[in-house]
Amino acid sequence: MHKINLILLGPPGAGKGTQADRISEIYGIPHISTGDIFRENLKKGSELGLRAKEYMDRGELVPDEVVIGIVHDRLAEPDCERGFVLDGFPRTVAQADALKEMLAGTGRGIDHVLNIRVPDEVVVERLTARRTCRACGAIYHLVFNPPKEEGRCDSCGGELYVRDDDREETVRARLEEYEAKTQPLIAYYRGEGLLRDIEGDADMEAVLANIRKVLG
Ligand code: AP5
Ligand code: MG
Ligand code: ZN
């Protein structure tokens, strides 16, 4: 299978993690979520995890130099030779520039930036009823994608919990941070001819179908 390098862009709750899991399965490429990496580090109690949590709990972005170093190391792992789907990175122009530099030596840049579009009201509805598996990170929704057994992960049996940053006031702060710092990447990647708009306010299968149309 040929190599494919993807970025998923979109506000909190757009469905980046949900779609990235599916893309990863279908195309056989690793799903790299910076948010998941921070949450895993927090679970282990590492210094990185504790440092990131301060920002995450306020709905703010973690400083660029921290995030860039992590992604740089992750992309150097051998499984990324098949390609990758980046979820939640880049989120600032500085991160996008750094990514371009990281890929410059590899002979293969980004193929598509999938910009998942959903209105703010939908974001709040999705995040306030999201449940996340503490063990494997699988994503559920009490109404739109409920687990078979309440409070338990279908795939690993792990405990489902509510992310600390999914409280409504934190969600609002995350949306503001998105508008101020991440939205400029839409113009950035449109300028590079890489942006593909995806209608995200539809059921999960319909969103996946829209993505597959773009990827071919
Ligand atoms: P991160 O974990 O990346 O959070 P986010 O970007 O805010 O996005 P979410 O994970 O909340 O949403 P999602 O788009 O993945 O949606 P999901 O698929 O879960 O980042 C968290 C924090 O880490 C940041 O605030 C920041 O502090 C820090 N951070 C991370 N990366 C960083 C970076 N690069 N730079 C600096 N700081 C960084 O879906 C949401 C819900 O909706 C689920 O319940 C799901 O089941 C449901 N759902 C999904 N699709 C549909 C659908 N089509 N219809 C109905 N329901 C749906
Ligand atoms: Mg996510
Ligand atoms: Zn699980």
Residues β-bridged to residue 32: 86
- 130 Cβ closer than 6 Å to some ligand 1 atom: yes
Query: Residues with Cβ < 8 Å from 192, sequence gap 6 or more?
Result: none
- Does ligand 1 come within 6 angstroms of the Cβ of 171? no
Across the chain, which distance is largest between two alpha carbons, in Å? 47
Distance of CA 158 from the midpoint of ligand 3 (Å): 5
Task: Give 102's contacts (C-beta < 8 A, 6+ positions apart).
Answer: 71, 72, 75
Contacts 24+ apart (CB under 8 A), 117-122: 117/10, 117/14, 117/197, 117/198, 117/199, 117/200, 117/201, 118/10, 118/11, 118/13, 118/14, 118/15, 118/200, 118/201, 119/201, 120/11, 120/175, 122/13, 122/201
Q: What is the pTM of this model?
A: 0.97
pLDDT (0 to 100) of residue 2: 66
Residue 127 CA to ligand 2 center (angstroms) comes to 10
Domain boundaries, the chain: 4-118+176-215
Pick from 152, 166, 150, 121: nearest CA to 17? 166
pLDDT value, residue 107: 82
pLDDT in tens, the chain (216 residues): 568 999 999 999 999 999 999 999 999 999 999 999 999 999 999 999 999 999 999 999 999 999 999 999 999 999 999 999 999 999 999 999 999 999 998 888 999 999 999 999 999 999 999 999 999 999 999 999 999 999 999 999 999 999 999 999 999 999 999 999 999 999 999 999 999 999 999 999 999 999 999 998
pLDDT at position 216: 84
Residue 105: per-residue pLDDT: 81
Closest Cα to residue 79, out of 3, 20, 19, 22?
3
CA 183 to CA 206: how far, in whole Å?
A: 24
Whether residue 123 has its Cβ less than 6 Å from ligand 1:
no
Say how far apart CA 65 and CA 63 lie, in whole Å. 6
| Ligand 1 pocket check for 48: Cβ under 6 Å | no
Q: Which ligand is nearest to the CA of 118?
A: 1
pLDDT of 137: 95
27-59 burial, b at 16+ Cβ within 10 Å, e below that, comes to: bebbbbbbbbbbbebbeeeeebbebbbebbeeb
If one residue of 126, 140, 142, 163 were mutated to test the ligand 1 pocket, choosing by the most ligand atoms within 8 A of its CB, it would be 126
- The CATH architecture annotation of domain 4-118+176-215 reads 3-Layer(aba) Sandwich (3.40)
